[in-house]
Structures are given as C-alpha cells and as structure tokens.
C-alpha cells in the first residue's frame, strides 16, 4: 500500500452506502418506514389471535405461526435498519433522531403485543417441546425456540414484561441514544504539531488516530487534546452511566440474575463458570502485554511508555493509505483464501454497501449492520487513512461476509451469540495481515506489521478483559456503594488498566477520563469479554487453516453459513474446535505469545 496525501484520509473517500433499497418497495424515506410499521401492526394483530393456543399447537401450526413471526421481524427489521443507519450517518440531525425514536416506540409496541408467546412457550414441559421440535418443518427455527427456554427462570408475568418493554423506550434505550449523541458531537482541538494542513478541529476518531503517530510530541499533544475534548459534558456522561448501572441492577434483581454479567452470559449461551474461566485465564497471562510494552519502549528509545505511547507505530514514518489501495489489498487477501468470499467482498465495494468517510456528527467507530436476511448487510467506517484502517475494513467485511452467507438461515438463525460473532471478522483481519506480511520484505517494515498485529491481539484479548474488570468494578460499586463520582469512575478505570499494564506503561492523570467515550459500557453492558472470546477462537480457527490449507476452507464456509442455527459448541465442532475444553483458552493465548515471540525475533533482526 502506498502513502497518500492527508486529504485522502477522511472526507474525500468515495464510499457511501445506499440505504433506500431497505424501504423502496414500501415508499421513499420516512414514508416507506411508516408503511413497513403499519404492515407490522397488521401482522402483529393476526399473530396475537394465537394467544392461549400455543400449548395445543401441532408442529405444523407452530411452523405457520413462526413463519408469520419471521415476516413480522423482516418488516420491523427493515424499518429499524433504515432509521438506525440514517441516524448513524449524522447523529446531530434532529429529524433523523426523531425517526429512529418513532421506530423504536412503534417496534416496542409490536413487541409487547406478542410477549404472550414467549411466556406460553416457556410453560410447556420439556417432553412436549422436544416432540414438537423433532418435526422437520420447524428446522428453520428449532434452535431459536429451544434456546429461548433458557430464560424460563427469569421471566416475569405478562403485565410485568409489558411494563418493562414499554418503559425501555424512555429508559435504557433513551439514555443510550443520549450518550451516543453526546459522544458523536465531541470535537478535538489539535495543537499545530499534530494538526493537518486544513484544520486543527477534528472529530474524536481523528484525534484518537493520532496516537499511532511515530512522533511522540504529536502523540502527547493529541492525547492532551483528546482529554480536553472529553472534559465538556464529562459529568453528564457519568450521570448517564450511573443511571444505566442502576437500571441494570433493577432488571437483574427483578429477573433473579445471580451476577451483573449473568444476563449477558445467558444471551451468549455461555455459563457464568465458563466466562469466569476465560477472564481468569487471560488475567493470568497479563505478562504478555507487559512483556510487549517493555520491548516497545526499547524500540521507541524510551525508558518506559506513557499511556499515549501504547499504540504508537514502531515504523519510522506515519504511512497513510488510500481508500483504493486498501480495497485492493483486502480484496486480494480474501481472494487468496476463497474466490467465493472475494466475489461477495466486491459487492460491498461496487454496490454501495459501505459508508467510509469521516463526517461531522457521524457515529464514531466502525460496525457491520446485518439488517434482515432478505436484504444485505452494511458496513460503517470512519476512514482516517491509517494502515490500521485497512485491517479494520477487513475486520468489518468479515462480519459482513458472515451475515451474507448466513442469510439463508432466516431471521431466527442468521445471527450468532456474541461469543462467536467476532470469529469471521478476526479471521478476515488475520488473513489480510498475513498477506501484508508476505508482501513485505524490509525488516523494519515487517517489524512494524508484526507489532501492529500483536497490538491488535493485545487490545482485543487483554485490554477488553481489563475493560470487563472495569465494568465489574463499577457495576459492583453502584450496587453496593451507590452513585459513582467522576473521580470514582476514573480511579476504577485507572486501577483496572494498570493491573493489565503493570510497570511497563505509565498512566498519566489525563487518562482517567478515557472511559467516558466507550459505547459498549453504555449500550451493551458486559459485551466486551466477547471480543476476547472471539479473538482467541478466531486465532485457533486460523491456526487450523494454516495447518490444513485448502481442505479447511469448505468447513470454514459451512461455519459461516450455519449462522446461529446451532449451539456455540456445535458450531465450533464444524471447524474442529472444542469450546467445552477448559484448556481451549490457554491454546489461544499461546498463539498470542507466539506472535510476541515473532515480534521479539524481528526486533533482534533490525538490531
């Protein structure tokens, strides 16, 4: 990939998605959204007539009901996807926010009308359920229906469930929207040394991207500027976080969940014990990131790293990457693994399935939206022109490929639990990295690439686990001590990060507020450990590909196409991975340590 001018990095990227096909059959823009929701209301009224009959349904009658439920999910899903993705384009646009809120309110109203099904289904005895699900006409939803029964001990009465569902619109989801709007409006005033030729005022994503710059003064200046940008509204974001911590504590108490993380584990089809084993295994290997950061300090000529040095490039120059170059490299990487996957990647590029430019008010970060099985996924990026962005593109396209291949499973089985959701994305990123490494012969450039890959693993496995420890600390504090102050959040954030970093990295006073822009804590409590799970799983899967070569490819494609139609353990078995084996985590961590050993060897090679 070749260097480019800084103007290529942000708003000049020619990649914007086309969302109109999501609603075009029903109307244009808001009109189409309203028509979809009107049709959903009619379908919900039809489904509601099944109240009181679930226990007496035959397999054929249940299949008919579930097919109609899938049609309802398609209607709501299209409306929700269109409104949500339009809002993500510009979260400071009040009209887009109002449309998103309208969809949320009407979708919740539909949901509350159909709560009776989950409650009646949960009341059936196991023998009747298994007899029904043995019928082939229910294969399209069997795992979904079987898995839904794991919530049986935590369901409330129908009136209570309706109240909780309806209050969610003005409760947790409203606070989450407020947080997203607040963070999307954050601006960073860069010092002249860190600013580009056009402006010193940039978005949060662009400010954070400068932490990879090879010039330490640029990194230091960018870090201070980010801290200054986070300061306005800090107390408000802390209040939002406190409110959601209390809201979750109430939900967990009412539903009888044993720990703050139990509901997330249940959704992930994982036991509390298995997740504890994962976190314990990772914490036990905190020496890996500490060993790397000590080496990195030597590579950068520093006595030790500061927090703003952690992701600094070890390359001599800050290489910027054009969007067109990145597309070529990522496409070729997927083609080297599977021509079938490469053809789908081309559709993302050619058919306006990606929105990449940085724009004021755009949602920070990157994600892939599955939308609905009858449509196609979309990818959102904030392209800043760094080499890391090319790997992020490969990562999000992995999600997109997973969604696209699993669409034949239908609405009930297209998505996997979060613990497997990162498999395809990390795998695709790793394949792309391998291609970049193969094409790089210069020892210094190879070291820079190895360092970037290792740091990706450390960020995904160890930093996300440290963030899980932060979440555990703040949820526990809120339940036992009460509301947290900004200083309380900062202290717990610093303590849990320092445990992972050890003496290898000095945490500055400024770093204490950097918890306050991370959306997962707000909208998806407990989510972050799934990154560690997914990274270790994907590395293990990639290791099998390296060992088996082309023979592995069909089984991997079968895994993606299976979506969430089986349990995580059954899906893992498709590619020869035993998720029930406690030593599984150590195997994945060994692969990360092998990456570190390779980086150490490359460092010795360049002297």
* Helix-, strand-, coil-residue percentages of the chain, each rounded to 5: 70, 5, 25
Residue 5: pLDDT band by 50, 70, 90 thresholds?
A: very low
What is d(CA 131, CA 142) in angstroms, rounded to the nearest whole number? Answer: 11
Phi-psi region of 338 (alpha: psi -120 to 50; beta: other; left: phi over 0): beta
Instruction: Say what the pLDDT of residue 315 is.
Output: 76
Quick one: pLDDT at residue 317? 64
Pairing type for strands 505-506 and 378-380 reads: unpaired
Strand 201-203 and strand 187-189: pairing?
Answer: antiparallel
Is the Cβ–Cβ distance between 416 and 534 less than 8 Å?
Answer: no
Asked if 229 contacts 211 with a C-beta cutoff of 8 angstroms, the reply is no
Confidence of residue 464 (pLDDT cuts 50, 70, 90): very high
Point out which residues pair with 369 in neighbouring strands: 378
Burial class (CB in 10 A: 0-12, 13-18, 19+), 197: exposed
Q: What is the mean pLDDT of residues 372-378?
A: 98
Radius of gyration of the chain from its Cα atoms, rounded to whole angstroms:
24
Closest CA to 571 of 553, 559, 580, 582: 559
pTM exceeds cut of 0.75: yes
pLDDT tens digits, 231-250: 999 999 999 999 999 999 99
Q: Above 70 in pLDDT, residue 35? A: yes
3-state secondary structure of 353: coil
For range 70-88, the mean pLDDT: 98
Confidence of residue 193 (pLDDT cuts 50, 70, 90): low
Could you give the C-alpha distances from 581 to 56, 555, 588, in angstroms and in order?
40, 21, 12
Q: What is the pLDDT of residues 324-339, one digit of tens each?
A: 999 999 999 999 999 9
Strands 305-306 and 505-506: parallel
pLDDT at position 3 is 33
Q: Tell me the percentage of the chain whose pLDDT exceeds 70.
A: 96
- Under 8 Å CB-to-CB from 90, ≥6 apart: which residues? 96, 359, 360, 361, 362
Residue 250 CB contacts under 8 Å (≥ 6 apart), including other chains: none
Please answer whether residues 251 and 164 qualify as being in contact, where contact means their C-beta atoms are separated by less than 8 angstroms: yes
CA atoms within 13 A on the CB side of 564: 25
Q: What is the pLDDT of residue 446?
A: 84
Distances (CA, A) of 311 to 340, 406, 552: 34, 34, 33
What pairs with residue 42 in β-bridges?
none
- Asked if the model's pLDDT at residue 319 lies above 80, the reply is no
Taking the C-alpha atoms of residue 331 and residue 343, their distance in angstroms, rounded to an integer, is 9
Q: Minimum mean pLDDT among 175-179, 187-191, 199-203: which range?
A: 199-203
Q: Which residues contact 463 (CB under 8 A, 6 or more apart)?
A: 289, 497, 500
Structure tokens, 286: 């905190």
Residue 392 near residue 432 (C-beta atoms within 8 A): no
Mean pLDDT of all residues belonging to the chain: 92
Q: CA–CA distance from 546 to each of 269, 516, 541 (Å)?
A: 29, 40, 9
Strands (E), 502-572: 505-506
What is the per-residue burial (b if ≥16 Cβ within 10 Å, else e) of 405-423? Answer: bbbebbbbbbbbbbbbbbb
- Pairing state of beta strands 305-306 and 378-380? unpaired
Phi, psi of 201 (to 5 degrees): -100, 120
Domains within the chain, CATH numbers bracketed? 20-170 (1.20.140.70), 237-318+415-607 (1.10.1370.20)
Residues 289, 592: Cα–Cα separation, whole Å = 10
Helices 287-299 and 584-605, packing angle to 10 deg: 10
Which pLDDT value is given to residue 587? 84
**Distance separating alpha carbons of residues 445 and 209, to the nearest angstrom:** 20
Query: What average pLDDT does this structure show over 551-577?
Result: 93
H helix and E strand count, the chain? 27, 7
Contact between 299 and 314 under an 8 Å Cβ cutoff? The reply is yes
Tell me the residue length of the chain. Answer: 607
> Distance between CA atoms of 477 and 325, rounded to whole angstroms?
48
CB 411, CB 348: distance < 8 Å:
no
Are 408 and 373 in contact by the 8 Å Cβ rule? The answer is yes
Residue among 332, 295, 330 nearest 310 (CA): 295
Say what the pLDDT of residue 112 is. Answer: 95
Q: Whose structure tokens read 């400071």? A: 92
Cα–Cα–Cα angle for 395, 399, 402, rounded to 5 degrees = 135
Tokens of 355: 């929105």
CB of 366 closer than 8 Å to CB of 389:
no
Q: Specify the pLDDT at position 197.
A: 60
Hey, which residues does 380 pair with through a beta bridge? Answer: 355, 367
**If DSSP codes are grouped into helix, strand and coil, which group holds residue 11?**
coil
Question: To which H or E segment does residue 354 belong?
Answer: strand 354-355
């Amino acid at each position: 990939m070749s260097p480019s001018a800084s103007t290529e990095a942000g708003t000049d990227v020619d990649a914007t998605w086309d969302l109109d096909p999501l609603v075009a059959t029903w109307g244009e823009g808001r009109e189409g959204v309203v028509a979809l929701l009107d049709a959903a209301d009619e379908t919900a009224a039809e489904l509601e007539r099944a109240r009181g009959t679930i226990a007496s349904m035959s397999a054929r009658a249940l299949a008919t009901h579930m097919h109609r439920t899938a049609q309802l999910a398609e209607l709501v899903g299209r409306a929700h996807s269109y409104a949500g993705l339009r809002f993500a384009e510009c979260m400071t646009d009040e009209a887009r926010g109002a449309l998103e809120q309208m969809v949320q309110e009407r979708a919740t109203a539909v949901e509350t009308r159909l709560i009776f099904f989950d409650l009646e289904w949960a009341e059936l005895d196991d023998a009747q359920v298994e007899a029904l699900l043995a019928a082939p006409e229910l294969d399209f939803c069997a795992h979904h229906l079987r898995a839904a029964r794991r919530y049986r001990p935590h369901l409330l009465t129908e009136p209570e469930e309706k109240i909780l569902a309806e209050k969610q619109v003005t409760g947790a989801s409203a606070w989450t929207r407020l947080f997203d709007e607040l963070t999307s409006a954050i601006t960073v005033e860069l010092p002249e040394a860190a600013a580009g030729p056009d402006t010193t005022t940039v978005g949060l994503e662009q400010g954070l991207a400068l932490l990879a710059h090879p010039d330490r003064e640029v990194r230091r200046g960018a870090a201070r500027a980010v801290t200054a940008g986070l300061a306005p509204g800090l107390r408000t974001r802390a209040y939002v976080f406190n409110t959601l911590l209390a809201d979750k504590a109430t939900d967990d108490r009412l539903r009888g969940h044993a720990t703050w993380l139990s509901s997330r584990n249940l959704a992930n089809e994982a036991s509390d014990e298995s997740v504890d084993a994962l976190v314990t295994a990772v914490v036990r290997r905190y020496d890996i990131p500490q060993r790397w950061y000590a080496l990195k300090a030597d590579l950068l000529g520093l006595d030790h790293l500061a927090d703003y040095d952690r992701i600094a490039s070890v390359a001599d120059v800050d290489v910027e990457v054009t969007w067109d170059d990145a597309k070529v490299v990522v496409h070729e990487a997927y083609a080297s693994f599977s021509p079938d996957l490469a053809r789908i990647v081309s559709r993302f590029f050619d058919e306006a399935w990606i929105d990449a430019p940085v724009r004021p008010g755009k949602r920070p970060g990157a994600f892939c939206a599955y939308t609905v099985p009858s449509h196609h996924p979309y990818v959102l990026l904030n392209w800043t022109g760094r080499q890391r962005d090319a790997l992020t593109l490969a990562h999000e396209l992995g999600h997109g490929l997973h969604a696209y291949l699993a669409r034949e499973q239908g609405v009930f089985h297209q998505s996997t639990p979060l613990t497997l959701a990162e498999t395809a994305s990390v795998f695709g990123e790793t394949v792309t990295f391998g291609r970049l490494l193969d094409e790089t012969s210069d020892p210094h450039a190879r070291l820079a690439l190895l360092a970037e890959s290792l740091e990706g693993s450390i960020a995904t496995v160890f930093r996300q686990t440290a963030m899980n420890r932060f979440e555990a600390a703040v949820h526990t504090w809120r339940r036992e001590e009460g509301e947290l102050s900004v200083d309380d959040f900062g202290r717990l954030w610093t303590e849990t990060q320092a445990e992972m970093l050890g003496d290898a990295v000095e945490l500055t006073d400024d770093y204490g507020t950097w918890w306050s822009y991370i959306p997962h804590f707000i909208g998806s409590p407990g989510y972050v450990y799934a990154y560690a799970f997914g990274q270790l799983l994907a590395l293990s899967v990639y290791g099998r590909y390296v060992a088996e070569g082309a023979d592995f490819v069909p089984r991997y494609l079968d895994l993606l196409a299976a979506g969430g139609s089986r349990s995580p353990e059954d899906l893992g078995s498709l590619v020869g991975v035993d998720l029930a084996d406690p030593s599984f985590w150590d195997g994945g961590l060994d692969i990360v340590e092998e990456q570190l050993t390779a980086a150490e060897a490359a460092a010795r090679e360049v002297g």
